[in-house]
Chain A
Amino acid sequence: MKKTIIGLAAALALAAGAIPAIAKEWTKVRIATEGAYAPFNYVTPDGELAGFDVDIAKALCEEMQVECTLVKQDWDGMIPALMAKKFDAIVASMSITEERKQRVDFTDKYYQTPARFVAKKGAGIEISEAGLTGKKIGVQRETIHDKFATDNFGNVATIVRYGTQDEANLDLVAGRVDVIVADSVALSEGFLKTDHGADFEFTGPDFTDPRWFGMGAGIAIRKDDKDLTEKFNAAIAAIRASGKYDEIARKYFDFNVYGS
């Protein structure tokens, strides 16, 4: 068994060596987003990907003068698919965290918003260890909000983990969970301002502790593609300077989404 693996590795190394290393010219970039995290990324009724992430991605591509294709990818398989070269970059409101940095590189942040809890209007749930004791907290699984809720309230409350934020929102409406915690903007635009969320409101303070919430959302790129990361960083700085960023941000938000 071991021998075959060594043999295979040797064969692969040979094959890789046989192809001369050419610095890749980026003319085409495939970008993945989730499409279930309004208003950052969602699917319009006619099946198109749209949202803040998508507009930013398109603006960055224009800035970098590359041809971009957008693909929809479920959150769970996002980083494995990036590493499997199914696409070259993730623009999906992915927070920059230490765990993720071990697998992929991130560009500088392109926005940063606090996390907040949402509960039914007048539910009177205090966001504290005492207030959440015995309650059910809905989160999207393996997100920074999942980790935050698990680390802080996991011993007193039940953490219910969903595949998408939409499902967590649905179950808050259905009453299967008492509160949900997620990005404040995703909750406000994607849930509270919709018909579904009419009976619900923010409760408790803003949470921004970098221990859980990292350094904001960045674009994830394979570690091998340092040149692409640099291209994206330059493009982010350029659209921030040219006013293109603010133009897009104004379309979606009435506050400073870039953070400080």
Chain B
Amino acid sequence: MDFGLILQTLPDFLSGLWLTILFTVSSLAIGLALSVPLAIARSSPNPLINWPVFAYTYFFRGTPLFIQLLLIYYGSGQFEWVKASWAWSVLQHAWFCALLAFVLNTTAYTTEILRGAIEATPHGEIEAAKASGMSRFLMFRRIILPSAFRRALPAYGNECVFMMHGTSVAGLVTLMELTGVAQVIQSRFYSPFEAFGTAAVFYMGLTFTIVAAFHALERRYHRHLRPRS
């Protein structure tokens, strides 16, 4: 173990850590916002609304994130009509391609997590909401979604950790997040153990932070499930 090397390259790792955090937070935030309406559509009994969403989540859950990123990054550059269109003004940036892949991926998973939680709403709650004359919108806002979010919390916490780990593929399209930095450092100093070991420690720190945050959220929102003392 060469600790001098780790200390010397720490600034690079910190800037990589920052990019990893930026990717994780922004893709999770955008993904969560998109997946709420999609999950409602996905739990609709109307197949015309339900099926397109299912096709989307099926594709993005059925293929590796790495392939999705390569399709978006190198795939888009292959077609002249893409490069001639307005889309190229954003697709030419590696960070946009990565963010797009991350958002599409996490949205697919989060949609399915929320759909499951929505469909598990006890019938009694819905009947009571209907009986008290709530509109569909009010019923979703006051009854179904709040309890669905609670039920989805543990599964969503896992998704956040997976997404954070998933951002490591950004290093493969020239972005200098933690894994990208580690790859450069290992090939500069020929010290893979120090390079990837340091990255692993940072990833672990991030994971524990996310896990602790979700523990705190569960303590608060799952109070009703705790045994009474």
On A, residues with C-beta under 8 Å from B are: 75-77, 79-80, 83, 99, 103, 141-142, 160-163, 167, 170-171, 173-176
Task: Give B172's nearest chain A residue, CB to CB.
Answer: A163
A80–B186 touching, CB < 8 Å:
yes
In the complex, whether B46 has a CB less than 8 A from a CB of chain A is no
Residues of B within 8 A of A174 (CB): 74, 76-78, 83, 92
Residues of A within 8 A of B172 (CB): 163
Residues of B within 8 A of A103 (CB): 190
In the complex, whether B174 has a CB less than 8 A from a CB of chain A is yes
Residues of A within 8 A of B77 (CB): 170-171, 173-176
Contact status of A160 and B174, CB under 8 A, knowing A174-B74, A174-B78, A174-B92: yes
In the complex, whether B192 has a CB less than 8 A from a CB of chain A is yes
Distance in Å: Cβ of A147 to nearest Cβ of chain B: 9
CB 8 Å contact bits of B66-90 with A (1 = contact, 0 = none)? 0000000010111000010000100
- Cα distance, A156 to B172, chains bound together (Å): 24
In the complex, whether B184 has a CB less than 8 A from a CB of chain A is yes
B174–A170 touching, CB < 8 Å:
no
B92–A175 touching, CB < 8 Å:
yes
Residues of A within 8 A of B186 (CB): 76-77, 80
Residues of B within 8 A of A77 (CB): 186-187, 192
B190–A80 touching, CB < 8 Å:
yes
Residues of B within 8 A of A176 (CB): 77, 92-94
Distance in Å: Cβ of B71 to nearest Cβ of chain A: 13
A141–B78 touching, CB < 8 Å:
no
User: What are 12 A-B pairs at a CB distance below 8 A?
Assistant: A76-B186, A77-B186, A103-B190, A141-B187, A161-B174, A161-B184, A171-B174, A174-B77, A174-B78, A174-B83, A175-B77, A175-B83
Q: Which of B64-123 contact A (CB under 8 A)?
A: 74, 76-78, 83, 88, 92-94
In the complex, whether B183 has a CB less than 8 A from a CB of chain A is yes
- Cα distance, A108 to B188, chains bound together (Å): 23
Residues of B within 8 A of A160 (CB): 94, 174
A142–B78 touching, CB < 8 Å:
no
B92–A141 touching, CB < 8 Å:
no
Residues of B within 8 A of A76 (CB): 183, 186-187
A141–B192 touching, CB < 8 Å:
no
Task: Give A5's nearest chain B residue, CB to CB.
Answer: B1
- Cα distance, A176 to B90, chains bound together (Å): 11
- Cα distance, A55 to B183, chains bound together (Å): 30
A83–B92 touching, CB < 8 Å:
no
Residues of B within 8 A of A175 (CB): 77, 83, 88, 92
- Cα distance, A99 to B187, chains bound together (Å): 11
- Cα distance, A162 to B172, chains bound together (Å): 8
- Cα distance, A243 to B190, chains bound together (Å): 36
Q: Which of B172-213 contact A (CB under 8 A)?
A: 172, 174, 183-184, 186-188, 190-192
- Cα distance, A117 to B113, chains bound together (Å): 50
- Cα distance, A204 to B109, chains bound together (Å): 50
- Cα distance, A99 to B94, chains bound together (Å): 30
- Cα distance, A77 to B83, chains bound together (Å): 34
Task: Give B187's nearest chain A residue, CB to CB.
Answer: A142
- Cα distance, A103 to B189, chains bound together (Å): 9
- Cα distance, A79 to B94, chains bound together (Å): 28
Distance in Å: Cβ of B148 to nearest Cβ of chain A: 41
Distance in Å: Cβ of A101 to nearest Cβ of chain B: 12
The 5 closest A-B pairs by CB, nearest first: A174-B77, A142-B187, A79-B190, A76-B187, A80-B192
Residues of A within 8 A of B76 (CB): 174
Distance in Å: Cβ of A93 to nearest Cβ of chain B: 15
B190–A83 touching, CB < 8 Å:
yes
- Cα distance, A257 to B172, chains bound together (Å): 32
Contact status of A142 and B184, CB under 8 A, knowing A79-B190, A80-B192, A174-B77: yes
Q: Which of B101-157 contact A (CB under 8 A)?
A: none
Distance in Å: Cβ of A9 to nearest Cβ of chain B: 13
Distance in Å: Cβ of A191 to nearest Cβ of chain B: 15
- Cα distance, A174 to B174, chains bound together (Å): 14
Residues of B within 8 A of A75 (CB): 187
Task: Give A83's nearest chain B residue, CB to CB.
Answer: B190
Distance in Å: Cβ of A175 to nearest Cβ of chain B: 6
- Cα distance, A75 to B184, chains bound together (Å): 11
